[in-house]
Amino acid sequence: MRCADAASSLQNQTTTADNSGKVPVEHLDYDYIRKCQDVKYLDMIWRVLRSGDEGIYPHLIEFCESHLEKLDPMSLVLRKEKPVATAASLSNDEWSQIVDELKKWQEETKETETSLKQQSMFDELVNTNLPPIRGSNRSFPLSQTSVPKEKRYSSKHTLPRDYREWDKFDVEKECERIDENLVKNDASVIISTGHPKLKTKVDASMLTQQEKLLLANYEKDKGNEAFRANDYEEAVAYYSRSLSIKPTVTAYNNRAQAEINLKYWHNAMRDCVRVLELEPGNMKALLRRATVYNHMCNFEMAVEDLRVVLKEEPQNAAATQLLSETEKKRKECQPEQQSKGKKILIQEVEEEDDNNNNEKTKAEDTARPVEPSQPVGGEESSAAPAERGDMGNAQKKPHSRGDGGPHSESNNSHHGHRRSKGGSSDKYKVTQESKEKVANGTSKRGSTASVPADQSNSGKETPVGGNAGETVNLDAPCGALPPPLARLKNEGNLLFKNGQFSDALEKYSQAIQGCTDSGIDSPEDLCILYSNRAACYFKDGNSQECIQDCTRALELQSFSIKPLLRRAMAYDSLERYRKAYVDYKTVLQIDISVQAANDSVNRITRLLIEEDGIEWREKLPDIPLVPLLAQQHRREEPPSAEVLQARAEKTVRDAERKAEGRFTALKQEGNDFVKKGQYQDALGKYTECLKLKPEECAIYTNRALCYLKMERCTEAKQDCDAALKVEPTNKKAFYRRALANKGLKDYLACSSDLQEVLRQDPNVQEAEKELEEVTALLRESLANAKALPAKPRKTVPITEVEGDEEATGVANSESSHRGEDITTNLRPTDAYEYGQALNAARCSGNTAACADLLASTTPETLPQFLSTQLDGNTISFIMQALDSHLLEKDPNLVYRHLNHLHTTDRFSVVLMLLEKEERRHMTQLFEHLSAVQSTEFTKNDVQNLANKYI
Amino acid sequence: MSSPLAKPQIIAHFQKSLNYTVFDSKWIPCSAKFVCLGNFARGTGVMQIYEVQHGEAQLIKEVEYPKPIKCGTFGATSLQQRHIATGDFDGNLNIWNLEMPGPPVFTVKAHKEIVNSIDGVGGLGIGDGAPEIVTGSRDGTVKVWDPRQKDSPVANMEPVEGETKRDCWTVAFGNAFNDQDRCVCAGYDNGDIKLFDLRNMSVRWETNIKNGVCCVEFDRKDINMNKLVATSLEGKFHVFDMRTQHPTKGFDSVSEKAHKSTIWQVKHLPQNRDIFMTAGGAGNLHLWKYEYPAHRSKTDSDDMEVGVAGSVTLLQNATLSTQPIASLDWSPDKQGLCVCSSFDQCVRVLIVTKLSQV
């Protein structure tokens, strides 16, 4: 087999080599044909086979064709002459269908024809609006030999003239002709582009009904064709023509689609609306309108339309796709939400704790009657379990179980959350504490105020000691409620969960009563109680009471989500849709992700539109604006494509955008301050920024920069830490922490931070340099515990301000400034370092730095240092530095430098290439130098030296 | 050709043998009737009107004329009148009222020799502007007529004196998308194709396809020139994209060698301009679809717009006869219905299915 393969591949090679040659007989073979990939060669084989020269092999031909079809379905070989099909070649059904259609058409056309004839009999008006006859008989001669533009004169003059003709040549006449020709050329070169002259209206006033219909259809067909050719402008024009003859749904619909393709959203919208006026519920129009809405960023309306479509045609793939797309876009439009929370389960009375024991406890709850212990109450709530133990009620079971019970913390504000979390995490501690307390036998007695309430309960309580089973902790702390009331509430929760709503109602009522009686001022808890009772009322079908309770709860704590939602549901059930709508909307302002509210809003919107028409919004009561504070516990929506759109979103978005805008403004101000060097002010701005958005990494790093500048390294380090908490791989944060660490003289931490920076991005040169330095410092400090940094160093000036995107310019500015550092501080030890220092100084035009550098260089070594790096700019720069700074201080040094400078490599070459300006500097220097009186050199020496330079 | 099932089928509905040579067959607009034009063996002309009824053609009317009729068109008449314009062997252009027998409503000695081809525009709601008829003749001239103006053509394209006259085999109107613009395309026996701009009265473009041009047709007469198909003697056809004209290169085209014999006719489907049928000298029909390229024009190195031609796909073919099919006409009213006549003295009504699914 392998042999065969090899052979065939060999053959392949050979055949491709001599493609033009004859087909060898051995290629007329199934195996060969199967392996052959060369369409042309196969074609040849096929021809040989068909010719019958090598014998006739019908099956092989067929095989060859089928193989060829696989390789090249468009091959000419496959085009066979087919006899015309007849009625017999179709199935009976198909044929009868065709015949029926034909028959129908025949009848229809007969009718149209007769009506046309009748019309023409009455209507003797010959089309009066016909355009006039083309201007009289104009003939234009043609020549067979192209050159179309000179038709009129071509016959004689395009041919080369013979001598006799030249004799008669009339220059002026010829010139005229040429001029004429030019004009003509211009005229005929006009190539009509586009179709600006296409009329979008057709005068159909003279036409009969039949004609109009035909014409409208015809124009529409032209539109369709243009549409198919992706010529949407033209398509729109033809649809418009069709519509001007006779408005039809299809033409409007098609024009809408063409306009969508052209992105003429408003026109498309108008057309869709017209279709829907003519034919309400037209699926295509709805779908197209949804598309338009989608593009006009009106996602709510888009979703609404799409839902109508999907309701009618659940299988509509386009609608489904568009819907998910719209949802996605809508979500993208929402500003990102930082805070995270738990999902609210609307139908539940409260949130379920994450406790593992929960399920188990619940199961036990249902299995056994409630078994309350006898709390004394009044203690600090966290100590409540301890109290119970203290009471000696023979309940020495571990609390872990009981703690898992449904202690309520149904307030979903931050406050509530934190407390609940604290509560559950403290579980163990509390238990230990309680044990200690039991051992010590010391405990605080509760306030007596709660005792009566407690006693009112006692009748129901089963004797405690007799039960060996594990109990549910009903004394779980509940906000600021005293234990008896908390207990009542927990009992209520439990009963609610078990479905005993009226019993739960009673418990809650008692708790509320207890609260008011004892004068406890805890609106939060009272709000929860009311809210829970409202839930009970709602479950019992008592919507009125439910609404009352919710309203009370909301009076205590406005914009509390659960009472609002419950009230909305109650209103909804009472069919007071407007109020329900308002409540739902408010809920959505607080938390956009409440699915039930979203759904209900959509549902109610439709109901209201049906009821009140388009102006339904005007009849709505005002929707209260939820303050920003109440919105903070919104969280990211779960990534579900099914989440439905709510209109409240817009208000929410506005508020959020405002916050966003303020944040950006603050940040910008901060950045500006940094640029100006007002770090204190910048600090303030950034701090404000962080109040708005505590999760913004860039702000932390920017503030860290400010702190660094102000040499408040500890704070800088803290900010970097915070930034790294948000974004654990932030390079800048690492770099700045390194600097802060360096400032704090924690070289070890510094070097590890720098290493981290370099690990992330090996190209950060500053970090590399810094690392080198720090490593040296580290070594030093290790060697000499007392050692201070060898040289007093400036803190590294980093002047960049972090923008939204990491600018590449940042690195540049940093490096250039670092360059300055080097110039002033570094004592170059080799040509490379010297060159760098010099370059840095030159780049920043810092002649003083250069002068310093030169001053610290011994003139004899100057040529070495400069080595091959000398160029015109450098010389000029050195001259300037010498002239402006060194000359005054130490003319001798200047002289010595100059004396050595000209010995540098390539000096003469560079000298030749000096520019005028640079020469001027040099002359100036020498003039100044010659004016100086010195013991070391005379004017003559200067003159001699100058000759070498100038 | 989305699926094999959607492939159109060419079905011979019925055929009718005639006792004369039929040169042209045309559907009467807004009816189930068609007209056959030809010549009797005795040298006279004939026009027959048939109606499609119960799966066969019923002869409704037959008129004999002194001269054989070569070609006819309804293109320049109103839907109400539906007069047919014909060209005969003697070079006459006549317009007939089919309802009323008698002398023609318009007659003119248009050419010195046989009128090979005729086309009309401005009628039937197809094409804005005046109703006009164009005739092409063996005498080498192409003349445009307005039925309202007797005796003289409104435009005359004739070869320059002294040059050899080429036989004009085919003419077609196009670009009639408003009152002023209008083009006539003419094909000659030497392979010349000339495009006359009637607005500027000049030759807008010309080319040569090397072999005699048997038939030219714009995909639509009444739109901004879009495509032009020209068929030739040796069995090739060329599709020109007429949207973008390059000052020197002209229009880009794609050509296809389809038939093994002359392509006598090409006709675009009235309901879809990108589908057309060619009729060959070997009695076969090919149904084609033109596909546009992604971009119909590009800029060349000189920064000039140059067109880009698309591609053609064969949708279906069928062999009807051993004799050339000389005429072919789609019904303007019923998609897929077409009539064709061949030199075996037969007229056939065909049904092409599934055209809307292509």
> DSSP readout, B99-149?
SS-SS-SEEEE--SS-EEEEEEESSTT-SSSS-EEEEEETTS-EEEE-TTS
Q: What is the mean pLDDT of residues A278-288?
A: 80
Could you tell me whether strands B84-88 and B92-96 are parallel, antiparallel, or unpaired per DSSP bridges? antiparallel
Examine the domain organization and report whether A600 and A544 are in the same domain: yes
- Asked if A144 reaches chain B (Cβ–Cβ under 8 Å), the answer is yes
- Write the residue in A99, A139, A192 that is nearest to B155 by C-beta: A139
Percent of chain A with pLDDT over 70: 63
Could you tell me whether strands B33-39 and B21-27 are parallel, antiparallel, or unpaired per DSSP bridges? antiparallel
Q: What is the pLDDT of residue B165?
A: 81
> Given an 8 Å threshold on Cβ–Cβ distance, is B158 in contact with A141?
yes
- Predicted confidence band of residue A480 (pLDDT cuts 50, 70, 90): low
Cβ neighbours around A258 below 10 Å, total: 27
Q: What does the DSSP assignment read for A825-848? A: H----SHHHHHHHHHHHHHTT-HH
The answer as to whether A570 is a domain residue is yes
Residue of B2, B30, B285 best to disrupt the A interface, most CBs of A under 10 A: B30
Q: Which of A27, A50, A78 is the last residue of a domain?
A: A78
Q: Are B95 and B147 in contact (CB under 8 A)?
A: yes
Interface of A with B in 92-121 (CB under 8 A): 94, 98-99, 102, 105-106, 109-110, 112-113, 116-117, 119-120
The answer as to whether B2 is a domain residue is no
- Predicted confidence band of residue B216 (pLDDT cuts 50, 70, 90): very high
Helix or strand (DSSP H, E) at B73: strand B69-73
How far the first Cα of chain B sits from its last, in Å, is 6
| CA dist., res. A881 & res. A902, Å (int) | 16
Short-list A459, A454, A525, A512, CA closest to A483? A454
> Given an 8 Å threshold on Cβ–Cβ distance, is B158 in contact with A86?
no
Q: Which residue has the tokens 């949708």?
A: B315
| Helix A358-367, helix A483-498: angle, nearest 10 | 80
Q: Are B321 and B344 in contact (CB under 8 A)?
A: yes
Q: What does the block give as tokens for A834?
A: 């010297």
| CA dist., res. B43 & res. A654, Å (int) | 89
DSSP letter at B192?
Answer: E
- The rounded mean pLDDT for chain B is 86
pLDDT digits (tens, 9 = 90+) for A581-640: 888 888 887 777 777 788 888 888 888 877 777 777 777 777 777 666 555 444 444 444
> Given an 8 Å threshold on Cβ–Cβ distance, is B334 in contact with A140?
no
Burial A346-374 (b: 16+ CB within 10 A, else e): beebbbebebeeeeebbebbeeeebbbbb
Examine the domain organization and report whether A671 and A776 are in the same domain: no
The answer as to whether B3 is a domain residue is no
The answer as to whether A644 is a domain residue is no
Residues 6+ apart with CB under 8 A from B25: B34, B35, B36, B37, B327, B328, B329, B339, B340, B341, B347
Range name among A205-214, A728-737, A906-915 with the lowest pLDDT average:
A205-214
Q: Are A287 and A305 in contact (CB under 8 A)?
A: yes
Q: Are B186 and B216 in contact (CB under 8 A)?
A: yes
Examine the domain organization and report whether A784 and A881 are in the same domain: no
Most confident of A352-356, A546-550, B69-73: B69-73
Q: What is the pLDDT of residue B217?
A: 92
- Asked if A516 reaches chain B (Cβ–Cβ under 8 Å), the answer is no
* Cβ–Cβ pairs < 8 A, chains A and B: 214
Residue A544: which region, alpha, beta or left (left: phi > 0; alpha: psi -120 to 50)? alpha
SS3 B67: coil
Q: Which residue has the tokens 């009506």?
A: A115
Q: What is the pLDDT of residue A785?
A: 55
- Write the residue in A90, A142, A218 that is nearest to B157 by C-beta: A142
Q: In CATH, what number is assigned to the domain containing residue B93? A: 2.130.10.10
| Helix A831-843, helix A809-825: angle, nearest 10 | 120
Burial of B156 (0-12, 13-18, 19+ CB in 10 A): middle
Residue A156: which region, alpha, beta or left (left: phi > 0; alpha: psi -120 to 50)? alpha
Q: What is the pLDDT of residue A546?
A: 84
Q: What is the pLDDT of residue A473?
A: 54
| CA dist., res. A210 & res. A109, Å (int) | 11
The answer as to whether B4 is a domain residue is no
Q: What does the DSSP assignment read for A315-381? A: T-HHHHHHHHHHHHHHHHHSPP-----PPP-TTSSSPPP--TTHHHHHHHHHHS----------S-G
- Asked if B205 reaches chain A (Cβ–Cβ under 8 Å), the answer is yes
Short-list A284, A206, A271, A277, CA closest to A243? A271
Examine the domain organization and report whether A482 and A591 are in the same domain: yes
Residues 6+ apart with CB under 8 A from A935: none
- Predicted confidence band of residue A444 (pLDDT cuts 50, 70, 90): very low
Q: What is the pLDDT of residue A475?
A: 53
Examine the domain organization and report whether A326 and A260 are in the same domain: yes
- Asked if B7 reaches chain A (Cβ–Cβ under 8 Å), the answer is no
| CA dist., res. A760 & res. A765, Å (int) | 13
> Given an 8 Å threshold on Cβ–Cβ distance, is A140 in contact with B156?
yes
> Given an 8 Å threshold on Cβ–Cβ distance, is B11 in contact with A184?
no
DSSP letter at A469?
Answer: S
- Write the residue in B81, B190, B318 that is nearest to A84 by C-beta: B318
The answer as to whether A888 is a domain residue is yes
Examine the domain organization and report whether A681 and A733 are in the same domain: no
Which residue type does A352 have?
Answer: E
Helix or strand (DSSP H, E) at B279: strand B272-280
Q: Are A682 and A706 in contact (CB under 8 A)?
A: yes
Q: Which residue has the tokens 């070169």?
A: A189
Statement: residue A239 has pLDDT above 60? yes
Residue of A96, A144, A186 best to disrupt the B interface, most CBs of B under 10 A: A144
Residue in chain B nearest A152 by alpha carbon: B160
- Predicted confidence band of residue B170 (pLDDT cuts 50, 70, 90): very high
- The rounded mean pLDDT for chain A is 67
Q: What is the pLDDT of residue B118?
A: 92
Q: What does the DSSP assignment read for A58-89? A: HHHHHHHHHHHHHH-TT-GGG----BPB-GGG
The answer as to whether A234 is a domain residue is yes
- Asked if A151 reaches chain B (Cβ–Cβ under 8 Å), the answer is yes
Is ipTM strictly over 0.85?
Answer: no
Q: What is the mean pLDDT of residues B198-203?
A: 82
Most confident of A240-249, A386-395, B274-283: B274-283
Examine the domain organization and report whether A846 and A756 are in the same domain: no
Interface of B with A in 287-316 (CB under 8 A): 292, 296, 305, 313-314, 316
Cβ neighbours around A411 below 10 Å, total: 23
CA distance A117 to chain B (A): 7
- Write the residue in A86, A193, A199 that is nearest to B11 by C-beta: A86
- Asked if A312 reaches chain B (Cβ–Cβ under 8 Å), the answer is no
Statement: residue A181 has pLDDT above 70? no
A942 vs A9, which has greater pLDDT? A942
Q: What does the block give as tokens for A923?
A: 């002359």
Statement: residue A540 has pLDDT above 70? yes
What residue numbers bound the domain in which A858 lies?
Answer: 824-946
- Asked if A188 reaches chain B (Cβ–Cβ under 8 Å), the answer is yes
- Longest C-alpha distance within chain A, in Å? 144
How far the first Cα of chain A sits from its last, in Å, is 88
DSSP letter at A279?
Answer: S
Show contacts of A553-558: CB within 8 Å, 24+ apart: A553/A526, A553/A527, A553/A528, A554/A527, A556/A523, A556/A524, A556/A526, A556/A527, A556/A530, A557/A411, A557/A523, A557/A524, A557/A527, A558/A630
pLDDT digits (tens, 9 = 90+) for A114-169: 877 776 554 444 455 667 777 655 566 665 444 333 333 333 333 334 454 545 54
| CA dist., res. A572 & res. A576, Å (int) | 6
> Given an 8 Å threshold on Cβ–Cβ distance, is B333 in contact with A105?
yes
Q: Where are the beta strands (DSSP E) in A673-755?
A: none
Residue in chain B nearest A104 by alpha carbon: B334
Burial of A236 (0-12, 13-18, 19+ CB in 10 A): buried
| CA dist., res. A768 & res. A454, Å (int) | 72
Burial of A490 (0-12, 13-18, 19+ CB in 10 A): buried
CA distance A123 to chain B (A): 9
Statement: residue B306 has pLDDT above 80? yes
Q: What does the block give as tokens for A85?
A: 């099909």
The answer as to whether B261 is a domain residue is yes
A841 vs A165, which has greater pLDDT? A841
Q: What is the mean pLDDT of residues B131-154?
A: 87
The answer as to whether A153 is a domain residue is no
Examine the domain organization and report whether A569 and A433 are in the same domain: yes
Whole-Å CA distances, A644 to A151, A304, A633 = 71, 9, 20
Q: What is the pLDDT of residue A923?
A: 83
- Predicted confidence band of residue A815 (pLDDT cuts 50, 70, 90): very low
Short-list A476, A383, A464, CA closest to A430? A383
Residues on chain B touching A149 (C-beta within 8 angstroms): 202-203
Statement: residue A495 has pLDDT above 60? yes
- Write the residue in B129, B164, B350 that is nearest to A131 by C-beta: B129
Residue of B83, B128, B190, B202 best to disrupt the A interface, most CBs of A under 10 A: B202
| CA dist., res. A33 & res. A930, Å (int) | 97
Examine the domain organization and report whether A893 and A931 are in the same domain: yes
Examine the domain organization and report whether A727 and A624 are in the same domain: no
Residue in chain B nearest A82 by alpha carbon: B318
- Asked if A196 reaches chain B (Cβ–Cβ under 8 Å), the answer is no
Q: What is the pLDDT of residue A73?
A: 65
Could you tell me whether strands A138-142 and B155-159 are parallel, antiparallel, or unpaired per DSSP bridges? parallel
Examine the domain organization and report whether A904 and A854 are in the same domain: yes
The answer as to whether A117 is a domain residue is no
The answer as to whether A46 is a domain residue is yes
Residues 6+ apart with CB under 8 A from A523: A556, A557
Q: How many domains does chain B have?
A: 1
A837: phi then psi, degrees, rounded to nearest 5: -60, -45
A546 vs A23, which has greater pLDDT? A546
Q: What does the block give as tokens for A336?
A: 């990102």
The answer as to whether A136 is a domain residue is no
Q: Are B209 and B230 in contact (CB under 8 A)?
A: yes
Q: Which residue has the tokens 């238990």?
A: A431
pLDDT digits (tens, 9 = 90+) for A882-891: 888 777 777 7
- Asked if B193 reaches chain A (Cβ–Cβ under 8 Å), the answer is no
Residue in chain A nearest B247 by alpha carbon: A189
- Asked if B337 reaches chain A (Cβ–Cβ under 8 Å), the answer is yes
Most confident of A796-800, B46-50, B200-204: B46-50
Whole-Å CA distances, A374 to A381, A387, A916, B25 = 15, 10, 104, 109
Q: What is the mean pLDDT of residues A339-344?
A: 40
Whole-Å CA distances, B217 to A218, B134, B265 = 19, 13, 9
What residue numbers bound the domain in which B183 lies?
Answer: 9-353
The answer as to whether B358 is a domain residue is no
Q: In CATH, what number is assigned to the domain containing residue A239? A: 1.25.40.10
Q: What is the pLDDT of residue A626?
A: 67
Statement: residue A724 has pLDDT above 70? yes
Statement: residue A391 has pLDDT above 60? no
| CA dist., res. A376 & res. A452, Å (int) | 11
| CA dist., res. A926 & res. A895, Å (int) | 9
Q: Which of A627, A662, A694 is the last residue of a domain?
A: A694
Q: How many domains does chain A have?
A: 6
Range name among A636-645, A744-753, A867-876, B69-78 with the lowest pLDDT average:
A636-645
> Given an 8 Å threshold on Cβ–Cβ distance, is B10 in contact with A189?
no
A775 vs A13, which has greater pLDDT? A775
Q: Are B310 and B290 in contact (CB under 8 A)?
A: yes
Examine the domain organization and report whether A758 and A900 are in the same domain: no
Percent of chain A with pLDDT over 90: 0
DSSP letter at A627?
Answer: P
Statement: residue A842 has pLDDT above 60? yes
